Structure 1
Amino acid sequence: MSTQDYKQRGGWLPEQDDLESWLKRLEETERESDEPLHPAVERLRELVESDPTLRMYATRMIEQVPTAKPYGRRHLHSLDQLLRLINQVITLAPEFSEKSMVMTPLAGLLDWTMGTPAGFAFYRDPRVNEALKDVLNAWCEYLDSPGSLYVLNDSAAGWKSEDAQRIVGMDQFVHDPSDEHWGFTSWNDFFTRHFKDGERPVAAPDDDRIITSVCESTPYKISTGVQRRDEFWVKEQPYSLEDLLAHDPEVGEFVDGAVFQAFLSATNYHRWHSPVAGTVRRAVVQPGTYFSEADTEGKDAIEPPESQGYLAHMATRAIILIEADNPAIGLVAVVLVGMNEVSSCVIDPHVTPGRHLEKGEELGYFQYGGSTECVVFRPGVVESVALQAVPRADAAPVKVRSHLATAVG
């Protein structure tokens, strides 16, 4: 995989041949397993089999062939097999591979179904998402457990290997080299690792015109003149503020304003930080979809980086509104979007209404899953955007707490 391909896919799934090789190995392992279905997977089965519409969608999304991906062979054959494979995946932690890493195993398994007409409908059903939430929470429990640490080893597929440490940039992060698992207690603990002190200083801490990056993320889109309501599900995925901000009472503040969006890759730092000094107005987690994608994007529909605008309105997300100390900036909305897998958007307990935050202070983190962020500004607030934040084909990740934009004034 080239560096550019890795960026475009976010580092979450490998190229097609590598994905299919992984699916083949998963199938072979599943045939050898006689484990009963986890209660959460069993509840998903009961939901689908008890509802004729869902059963129809589930059956057809397996039977249909996705046109967006050049699959060499069929890997899914029945609902029963799919459920058994899901049951297997939720006891796995992602292994490292420089060229063929399946960082989101459940998305890799469901990739076939997500790209079919029936799959687009199935994954938008609220009942399906509620059942999937239970499955994903069960997997999260495993990823929070010591059992998930098996991938933190120094083999070629381990996150302690020289290649993994180089790609992650492990020397920047807090860890204990003398400990078998670097001092981490679980996969999720490793995934949400902290930078060492001094690694990501706050840009211009005393200049309240400088707005800083919320995440360590690659620029995706900058939109201006955003509307209160728009058709976010169409090609180009324009922003619809009422949907993006879950009908927050302050939506009117942002009409005709600007949205900056960027996505996090698999090996990025996954914690969020306040872009301004200010006071928390609201902080909520909005439930949403997990594996729905923008079918209007054609062959790219099931590539999460290509559905980011759509997912910002549909997926589970944390919405944090901050009243900046600088009155020229005023209210800022930060939307942290979970894409695929567990998609846990965890707001830090101290981020509550009335709490004053310093610029660069931590807001929370993505526990696991593909992810994207939006920063929403009122009209006329942004004077200029930092060069590194401008979306382009060769864009590198904007470092967290670095200069993102400059406000007027």
Structure 2
Amino acid sequence: MSQPKKANKKRKYPNRIGHWLPKDQKNIKKWLDDLIKEVEQKYSKEKKTVVKLDKNFVLPKDWLDPLIQEFWDLVDKDPTLHMQYNQMFTEVTESQTPTETPQIQSYQVMFLLVNFIMKNWAPRYNDYGLVGFPINVILNWSMGTVNGYAAFLNKEANDYWMKVLNKWGEFLKSPQSCYVLVDKPWGWFGENAQLAMPNFKEEFQCDPSAPHYGYTSWDDFFIRKFKDGVRPVACPDDMNVICSACESLPYDLQYDVQYKDEFWIKEQWYSLRHMLNEDEYTSQFVGGTIYQAFLSALNYHRWHSPIDGKVIKAYNIPGTYYSATLSVGKDEASPDKSQGYICQVAARSVMFIEADNPAIGLMCFVAIGMSEVSTCEINSDLIPVDGPKRVKKGQEIGMFHFGGSTHCLLFRPGVNLEFDQTVLDAFTDPEPENIKLNAKLATVVTKGKGK
């Protein structure tokens, strides 16, 4: 049965949480306690002094990479940022977090931990799901404070976060990051990790006989490709069938989307003007439909075209990295509950695709980086600098680097979408499964078909 646009009900199905960080706060606390202990031991040994990362810790700047030193200088000289970066940690109290005493008690501790991660840390596997977002964990509770909300919207500070994340990305693309691509208990080819990623050898392009399974870096492993035929395209010759663009879990489905809306409130409506950065095509989607889905750290992280058509415009929009809305209240896995909000403010990629099917016409794919997912990469051969670029349904169009993320598909008003039952069930199932890449997501119901 078709589901037409609801003029008075913008959300057809409630949004759900994407399990961005582990549900059990004890696991997050243990992970961060272990990181703090590792850093304390490293600097105690190197500096031949006792290093204790508590609220009394005084950080010598010469312990830091020059980039982190510059960032700290910005925070120190700007009175507003200085206040915000101090208070966003002091505002985190025992009543706000179930982890007892707040673990990160100053921005100096934050800078030292970020410095350590940026220079030589790659995500290790663990059984409780915290595998890819170390800086997110460091900032998890401070993001949800009044001063944190303001601090992570500051453009100058965001520019530095981008530089930090890009430098960490350089390490994750280096051969040195392969130290986690081993068969040790915390390695990605150990017994526990392979149980969490069953059929890895059968599904992904790899060489188990080669060092690190043939991957040249942690990022090379992260953006691994499926083997040919592993995710077949649903109904490749039926132009009315729209496929899943990512291996992902449905998060939200809204109809009658507005040009401008209150995206920062608890309901987190989509505001097209801000989401698409006032693109010339924005008005065509007013009153249309948005489907949003979430990718976890263990998912496949490349994007594929959901339709046959032509890419007529594709570009990146700079934005925030750790901003979360205060309206959702306490968020144990921030910005998990803010996934609708970040579509308007986070760093993202936008691709407009003109479908071969006139019943679809112009649609839009938006890839949104969450927290340290700082790189949304559009395949360079599909950027239409010299005219539209053809894409086939199921063809790779881009990828995320370095962590879990979220994405949206936008459709114009009048496109009558019948979403597959597996998609609809995922909104209400307490333990839903991912919608597989290239699986049938929805069908366009044209006149004379359906009711």
Q: Above 0.5 in TM-score?
A: yes
1:388 corresponding residue in structure 2: 422
Find 1:119's aligned residue among 148, 152, 155. Answer: 148
- Cα 1:119–1:372 change in 2 (3 A) is same
1:247 corresponding residue in structure 2: 278
Q: CA deviation at 1:258?
A: 0.3
Residues in 1 aligned to 2:406 and 2:226: alpha-carbon distance in whole angstroms? 20
1:3 corresponding residue in structure 2: none
Q: CA deviation at 1:303?
A: 2.8
1:43 corresponding residue in structure 2: 70
Aligned partner letter, 2:403: G
Residues in 2 aligned to 1:166 and 1:27: alpha-carbon distance in whole angstroms? 28
Q: CA deviation at 1:408?
A: 2.5
Alignment gaps of 5+ in structure 1:
1-6
1:256 corresponding residue in structure 2: 287
TM-score with structure 1 setting the length: 0.95
Q: CA deviation at 1:13?
A: 4.2
Deviates more, 1:89-98 or 1:75-84: 75-84
Find 2:116's aligned residue among 88, 95, 102. Answer: 88
Find 1:142's aligned residue among 171, 183, 187. Answer: 171
CA deviation profile, 1:165-202 (whole Å, cap 9, x unmatched): 22223131111000120000101000000001100011
CA deviation profile, 1:317-376 (whole Å, cap 9, x unmatched): 000000000111000100000001142100001112210111111110001123101000
2:138 corresponding residue in structure 1: 109
CA deviation profile, 1:261-301 (whole Å, cap 9, x unmatched): 00001100000001111011110110010001121001237
Assess if the C-alpha contact under 8 Å between 1:317 and 1:345 holds in 2.
Answer: yes
Residues in 1 aligned to 2:339 and 2:367: alpha-carbon distance in whole angstroms? 11
Deviates more, 1:63-72 or 1:219-228: 63-72
- Cα 1:198–1:100 change in 2 (3 A) is closer
Secondary structure in structure 1 of the residue aligned to 2:213:
coil
Q: CA deviation at 1:19?
A: 1.5
Secondary structure in structure 2 of the residue aligned to 1:321:
strand
Aligned partner letter, 1:142: F
2:34 corresponding residue in structure 1: 25
Find 2:183's aligned residue among 127, 151, 154. Answer: 154
Alignment of 1:307-322 (within 5 A): 307-322=338-353
Residues in 1 aligned to 2:20 and 2:91: alpha-carbon distance in whole angstroms? 27
Aligned partner letter, 1:133: M
Q: CA RMSD in A?
A: 1.6
Secondary structure in structure 1 of the residue aligned to 2:357:
coil
Alignment gaps of 5+ in structure 2:
1-15, 47-61, 447-451
* Relative contact order higher in (CA < 8 Å, ≥ 6 apart): 2
Residues in 1 aligned to 2:292 and 2:18: alpha-carbon distance in whole angstroms? 16
Secondary structure in structure 1 of the residue aligned to 2:162:
helix
Assess if the C-alpha contact under 8 Å between 1:13 and 1:104 holds in 2.
Answer: no
- CA radius of gyration, larger in: 2
TM-score with structure 2 setting the length: 0.86
- Cα 1:168–1:68 change in 2 (3 A) is farther
Residues in 2 aligned to 1:275 and 1:164: alpha-carbon distance in whole angstroms? 30
Find 2:92's aligned residue among 61, 65, 68. Answer: 65
Query: Is 1:369 aligned to residue 413 of structure 2?
Result: no
- Cα 1:100–1:401 change in 2 (3 A) is closer
Matched residue count: 403
Secondary structure in structure 1 of the residue aligned to 2:153:
coil
1:299 corresponding residue in structure 2: 330
Residues in 2 aligned to 1:9 and 1:111: alpha-carbon distance in whole angstroms? 16
Deviates more, 1:253-262 or 1:83-92: 83-92
Residues in 1 aligned to 2:223 and 2:405: alpha-carbon distance in whole angstroms? 13
Assess if the C-alpha contact under 8 Å between 1:263 and 1:305 holds in 2.
Answer: no
Assess if the C-alpha contact under 8 Å between 2:369 and 2:405 holds in 1.
Answer: yes
- Cα 1:244–1:100 change in 2 (3 A) is closer
Query: Is 1:166 aligned to residue 166 of structure 2?
Result: no
Aligned partner letter, 2:190: S
